[in-house]
Chain A
């Protein structure tokens, strides 16, 4: 049986956009920024979907490729009434259901299905110094996220330095975020159900990944999946420890300017803006804001599987963001997402900027009260 395209249920939203045409969605759209073509903007996509709804164009490989050029940063939603990425991901899902594929995204999906992570890697190396901290049966699970686990392992290790006792999954299980954002909703659903079963065994789950955090907290409920434990992003957990006096941070940043890049998935999408900033200040850094910050922050360029399909363009976006960071007079660019770290590092090569995740700094600055 042919499934009715999901996009039909968004008809009113599409015509609302066609009517309003304000174009407020593309002033910081990262893809529009480098391509200059409205096809890649939210307003432009509404016009294309309108053409589809009116029978003027059909599903095609070219159409799926256009819609896949999106980092899912959600900037287009900040000044709009409707959840734009949700609509576009549904449209992509319709095309995938019709048999069209983006090879790079399919490879990621296959890797996740087979090996539990998008990179298709096998082993996670946990330094022996942290072995003693891993306590199966602990109420707290450290859910690292695939990029911290397999690519930006300094973030993984730093978080282990910060945490006291925690459980850690021996085998990787992906949250399915990249699948969902690439339009592979059915596969994402499978991952979500698999992870829910694991997470529900714990009281608290701490993740160092902005993408995982947003997926579990915001996207799972939209898929009809509610998890039992309290989910905390690393910045929330560290701030909590600070507020409760369970950790102290030394002033490692005294006399140093630093700027903070809001990861889209914890910032604009879930409203975590101030916790990371408070932690940065607690370490003594002089925080200098980029012109585009908080809700208006420019995406790093990596999300939504975009880095996989057009790495060069993703790097150009990161380069634009790094230039903005450099413009603040800071040489330290702090963020709170392994994927942002990865792409911003790629985009700032040769610029004299040091890109770090906030947990890497906290791991250096932390001391426990009873250690004084």
Chain B
């Protein structure tokens, strides 16, 4: 490895290659629940400035068969960016330059290491925004958003990364640089959709270094409402009714009562009491509407009519609504929920998706499995990740990361939820991805489709150096690239 390090230094300069163990620990874990003392140490961390730097790193890695893992904000929840076989971590945050804002076509071209937050800070003075809005936005990068295909608060109106990305520059395992996509056109019917193939590929096919995304006019006004429901399926039905009325919601989330407590932790800390759902109800539908003030006023009235006719009623506690929205979008909380909510236990989730009609079936499994494995529930949050009703679900729990049995039970729970979701004609992951945690189950999820995926993988990465140990189970990966 010493020779490789020397070569990397000659390419990037000594300030951009770290091999001292002190500098490797910060890159040894992601957001996944795991034993508190577990680390996945890479052999080196490289800090490229541009596509050429990444290409040179890849040429070096390809020549020496060294695994390479791309790293964005390091907030993934499934082990996607862990260097499980060592190798080089390519830390992309230093690639955050804004390349072109095309105001007439509403597109932004940016280096892949720009955070979602920095993109929106940049766009704000122009009255524009990128509505892809994960709660990790101050840390998560646009490149990682593509590679992990996570969901966001405004998916029901604007969709996911597949709806935003127009083209991207990808560096392949041999260092080859390829621009894929359809320039600035919003759609194409030409050729294979290589861009779509990249979305959610977890860095196993290539490293994205530059991306062009669609951006949108920032709405003038926004209102957030929470409606009380009896059963989360009532929330799903309400969404269909609202859609039928012609109202275009900006965001829609369905929560069970437990989850409300977590989202409004700040409220509990301020008032000393939990945010409880009033008697007679057990769940909620939280929505936002946005537009000019006339449209917002009209939408509000229409939605109120629909919800009241369904037997719902508004949750009229402004503090709770504000606290909930802080958690989902503004992040203007008195205390950071991520740290204040995880002082004694780690947050973890099964992120299955099921058809809208099976929500209560999978919820029942959540209750049963958490009971079976003695797991404390955080609660359920149903996002809508694509236009119209499109549930992506977080069935969240607490994991005691200082108790190995608790961590084991968490993974048994996740696997149980995943298998049940597939039985219910759903999918085992809706926003976290496979990473290391679900790779044993991908043959169940994809059947012989997984063989086809492996062939595709080999076409992009014949030596299997791009983020090895992810998505595919061990049986697909006969070679050992430990160095």
Contacts and interface: CB of A to CB of B under 8 A. Distances in A.
B47 interface: yes
B343 A27 contact: no
A44 B22 CA distance: 10
A21 B339 CA distance: 8
A27 B25 contact: no
Nearest to A46: B26
B260 to A, nearest CB: 20
Interface in B109-154: 115, 117-118, 121, 136, 138-140
A108 to B, nearest CB: 24
Nearest to A60: B22
B27 interface: yes
Nearest to B122: A291
21 contacts: A16-B339, A18-B36, A19-B339, A22-B336, A23-B75, A23-B139, A24-B139, A24-B336, A36-B16, A36-B91, A37-B18, A37-B26, A38-B26, A38-B74, A39-B22, A44-B26, A47-B25, A48-B25, A51-B25, A62-B22, A81-B340
A80 interface: yes
B339 A80 contact: yes
Given A36-B91, A63-B22, A56 B343 contact: no
Interface in A8-52: 12, 15-24, 26-27, 32, 35-39, 41, 43-45, 47-48, 50-51
A37 B47 contact: yes
A28 to B, nearest CB: 9
A20 B336 contact: yes
Contact of A16 (B16, B45, B115, B343): B343
Interface string A270-293: 000000000000000000000100
B480 interface: no
B22 A19 contact: no
Interface residues of B, number: 47
Interface string A226-237: 000000000000
A80 B26 contact: no
B28 A36 contact: no
Contact of A22 (B16, B26, B139): B139
Nearest to A38: B26
Closest 8 A/B residue pairs (Cβ): A23-B139, A44-B26, A36-B94, A38-B26, A20-B338, A22-B338, A19-B342, A20-B339
B202 interface: no
Contact of A39 (B26, B93, B138): B26
B31 interface: yes
Contacts of A54: 37
A102 interface: no
A38 B27 contact: yes
A66 interface: yes
A38 B338 CA distance: 19
Interface in B1-57: 15-16, 18, 20-23, 25-31, 36-37, 39, 45, 47
A41 B347 CA distance: 22
Chain B interface SS verdict (over half)? loop
B138 A57 contact: no
Given A21-B75, A38-B91, A47-B25, 14 more contacts: A19-B345, A19-B347, A22-B339, A27-B138, A27-B139, A37-B26, A37-B91, A41-B26, A44-B26, A51-B21, A57-B21, A57-B22, A80-B339, A291-B121
A15 B36 contact: yes
Interface string B356-372: 00000000000000000
A256 interface: no
Contacts of B15: 35
A217 interface: no
B376 interface: no
Nearest to A53: B37
Contacts of A51: 21, 25, 39
A56 B24 CA distance: 12
B28 A82 contact: no
B346 interface: yes
A225 B374 CA distance: 49
A79 interface: yes
Interface in A197-243: none
A54 B26 CA distance: 14
B302 interface: no
B110 to A, nearest CB: 15
Contacts of A35: 15, 47
Interface in A298-330: none
B73 interface: yes
B25 A50 contact: yes
Contacts of B20: 62
B193 interface: no
A48 B342 contact: no
Given A35-B15, A48-B25, A17 B36 contact: no
Choose among A17, A32, A38, A80 the residue with the greatest number of B CB atoms under 10 Å from its CB.
Answer: A38
A8 to B, nearest CB: 16
B331 interface: yes
Contacts of B336: 20, 22, 24, 79-81
B287 to A, nearest CB: 25
A31 B26 CA distance: 15
Contacts of A50: 25
Contacts of A18: 29, 36
Nearest to B15: A35
A36 B27 CA distance: 13
Contact of B118 (A27, A39, A57, A79): A27
A153 B92 CA distance: 43
A12 B47 CA distance: 31
B351 interface: no
A153 B36 CA distance: 52
B250 interface: no
A56 B331 CA distance: 35
Choose among B37, B93, B341, B402 the residue with the greatest number of A CB atoms under 10 Å from its CB.
Answer: B93
A47 B28 contact: yes
B335 interface: yes
B173 to A, nearest CB: 23
A48 B140 CA distance: 21
B340 A79 contact: no
Contacts of B339: 16-17, 19-20, 22, 80-82
Contacts of B335: 81
A39 B93 CA distance: 13
B206 to A, nearest CB: 21
Contacts of B139: 22-24, 26-27
B401 interface: yes
Contacts of A12: 343
Nearest to B118: A27
B346 A19 contact: yes
A21 B30 contact: yes
A62 B23 CA distance: 10
Contact of B117 (A27, A39, A47): A27
A252 B244 CA distance: 62
A37 B23 contact: yes
A16 B338 CA distance: 9
A358 to B, nearest CB: 26
B348 to A, nearest CB: 10
B274 to A, nearest CB: 19
A37 B22 contact: no
Contacts of B75: 21-23
B215 to A, nearest CB: 18
B342 A56 contact: no
A79 B93 contact: no
A37 B342 contact: no
A287 to B, nearest CB: 17
Contact of A66 (B22, B39, B74): B22
Contacts of B29: 18, 21, 47
